[in-house]
Structure 1
């Protein structure tokens, strides 16, 4: 590469390597980031943390060529600003990447666009320290022994178990009292739905042991988060940093699953609808106002609370549920949120803004216009 190219500010996107060409997911999103990067004078490259040459401080990476309309592999200087988009399929996968990711994180010359969150348990633990947020958090326990599950079942009769890491609804199961036994239903790791009847606790324990094998899990109460026609739903709120370093709400949409299924995730066959349309059909005007006020409060408080305890963030996706009584529950906080929900709702301007903001924030960081410390 020429010396001029080497001086171009670069944002490196880290990914977990997959099969295919290019060997990573989210290619459409990264292409759009590349185009937005051209508008603000930042080159975008995509690489696997395992492929860093630390002696030369270089990396084998992919760059989208707008002239050729394709991804091209080449060698680049190790970027000084990193956007983490690594997704781990299970604990073993995470541990395989962890030392390579940590080396990037701990390098004194490298800054992160935002520090990724830990798992569901870690996030719950420090959010629950806030007495104002605690009433909106489902009780969450690490599933280390069956007693953790039984504690939740004694208090709430039903429970849901989830991988501690991000899952897109995969590997989630509800434990419900059934006719003459126990009912377990949800989605497998490869996203197939299941609904089993187990005759007793011994059979349930064996099933859970097989189901969770190799991954860390949490257990929570099972919440009845369904529409009036029996569809599971949640609300995705995308919060992002502006170029001034301020948190702004980019968009809000509702994801609905198929009737009688457990999760609303789009990966599991769900659909997305606009939030205003959904609320106008599900709630009375008075309840709608109350719910929207609570959603607005959560969307402002949660990112600030996380950042004060965790370090700098660039964006968070808040997944929120509303029970039949109108109580608002913060279900999950995702530091690597997707954006496809806004394409599915037809909100192209929200989608465009969701891509523009991270690049403008990156430019502000590189220019020293916003705080650069973690």
Structure 2
């Protein structure tokens, strides 16, 4: 059996060819070597199409140094590319089309609205969705505000808490709203009061340039005044089966309407945060088991509806009654939430599982048909 090769596909952040997750890739290359998996990193810019080769970034654990080597196009690809507004992203789209015949561990998911609509088709998931509308006019906003005291306006393709506006009806004041948020550059917009007519103008200006959603706000404010949620990571294991890798709590920065770590938030062990939120260890454990089942079923369902996935992060809101809401899903999740919460073993597992899954794919491709049936 030939040695399996996995190429980690990523994008440069800028013209200086910097990578966002270089330390993660280094660790995955080291762990891959222990498993007998040859791992390297490349971008669409590094592909020499006529030669079917890539000018790959390789890491040598013995010297602790990165270097460049010409390598054959890998048969298996772990796509870590996130959306950019750049020519580099257009190169990525062309790469995916041209090399569609290669084995991708994961394929891109659709935007937040399409995912919401897909979940809405199943009663199993419908009960775990906050009410969500595609924002098109002030009519949509007013409709949401009639039903919910808090509404979030969020971009259809946003990540990292960027571009989110929180709107809350001011108690005891008719037609007055508190608004606060984060701009696309993550800068915090301080809370301020506006009238309904001012609100309409603010939201219209906020939504210029892209498509936004209006979403029911779930009560997530801690006694400290900060907002929190939970990041759950489910991945396929070394047998090709979906499994929970871990779950961590995220607590937002002061004055922030989101809990994202890149926006100044911090990570906490999920069980500890949930125990304080729900009031008992027993309730926390019960809700976490329910969340685990929901996450695994959600990942399997989205893979059936769209295409191949090997991992999926779910951002969950859990109210005081223990009801679970799926806020967003992310097919290209970061793992640092586990590192920052002190859960080192889960962090390691989150890096190793895609490698073990790649080996499972390789074994099943190389094995004769009869042995494939036996393993399945």
Alpha-carbon distance change, 274 to 74 in structure 1, aligned in 2, over 3 angstroms: same
* Deviation, structure 1 residue 247: 1.0
Task: Tell me which of 154, 158, 161 is aligned to 1:162.
Answer: 154
Equivalent position of 1:186 in the other structure: 181
Task: Tell me which of 37, 49, 53 is aligned to 1:42.
Answer: 37
Q: 1:367 aligned to 2:363?
A: yes
Alpha-carbon distance change, 291 to 34 in structure 1, aligned in 2, over 3 angstroms: same
> Greater CA deviation, 150-159 or 75-84?
150-159
> Greater CA deviation, 264-273 or 100-109?
100-109
Task: Tell me which of 114, 127, 148 is aligned to 1:122.
Answer: 114
Contact in 1 for aligned 2:316/2:327 (Cα 8 Å): yes
Equivalent position of 1:228 in the other structure: 223
* Deviation, structure 1 residue 20: 7.6
Cα separation, 2, equivalents of 1:119 and 1:279 = 29
Equivalent position of 2:258 in the other structure: 263
* Deviation, structure 1 residue 199: 4.0
Contact in 1 for aligned 2:247/2:270 (Cα 8 Å): yes
Contact in 2 for aligned 1:158/1:222 (Cα 8 Å): yes
Gaps of 5+ in 1: 1-6
Equivalent position of 2:92 in the other structure: 100
Q: 1:69 aligned to 2:64?
A: yes
Contact in 2 for aligned 1:80/1:109 (Cα 8 Å): no
Equivalent position of 1:336 in the other structure: 332
Equivalent position of 2:77 in the other structure: 82
Cα separation, 1, equivalents of 2:65 and 2:202 = 46
Q: 1:172 aligned to 2:164?
A: yes
Contact in 2 for aligned 1:49/1:101 (Cα 8 Å): no
Q: 1:292 aligned to 2:295?
A: no
Contact in 2 for aligned 1:47/1:62 (Cα 8 Å): yes
Task: Tell me which of 137, 143, 159 is aligned to 2:135.
Answer: 143
* Deviation, structure 1 residue 158: 3.0
Aligned residues: 362
Q: 1:320 aligned to 2:312?
A: no
Alpha-carbon distance change, 9 to 101 in structure 1, aligned in 2, over 3 angstroms: farther
Contact in 1 for aligned 2:132/2:213 (Cα 8 Å): yes
- TM-score, normalised with respect to structure 2: 0.87
* Deviation, structure 1 residue 270: 1.1
- TM-score, normalised with respect to structure 1: 0.88
Equivalent position of 2:349 in the other structure: 353
Alpha-carbon distance change, 144 to 128 in structure 1, aligned in 2, over 3 angstroms: same
* Deviation, structure 1 residue 321: 0.8
Cα separation, 2, equivalents of 1:300 and 1:290 = 16
Q: Deviations over 1:338-361 (max 9, x none)?
A: 111111121111111111111111
RMSD across aligned positions (CA): 2.5
Task: Tell me which of 191, 213, 216 is aligned to 1:218.
Answer: 213
> Greater CA deviation, 76-85 or 195-204?
195-204
Q: 1:27 aligned to 2:22?
A: yes
SS in structure 1 at match of 2:246 = strand
Q: Deviations over 1:45-74 (max 9, x none)?
A: 222224433222222332223233222233
Task: Tell me which of 272, 277, 292 is aligned to 1:277.
Answer: 272
Q: 1:10 aligned to 2:43?
A: no
Q: 1:304 aligned to 2:296?
A: no
SS in structure 2 at match of 1:24 = coil
SS in structure 2 at match of 1:136 = coil
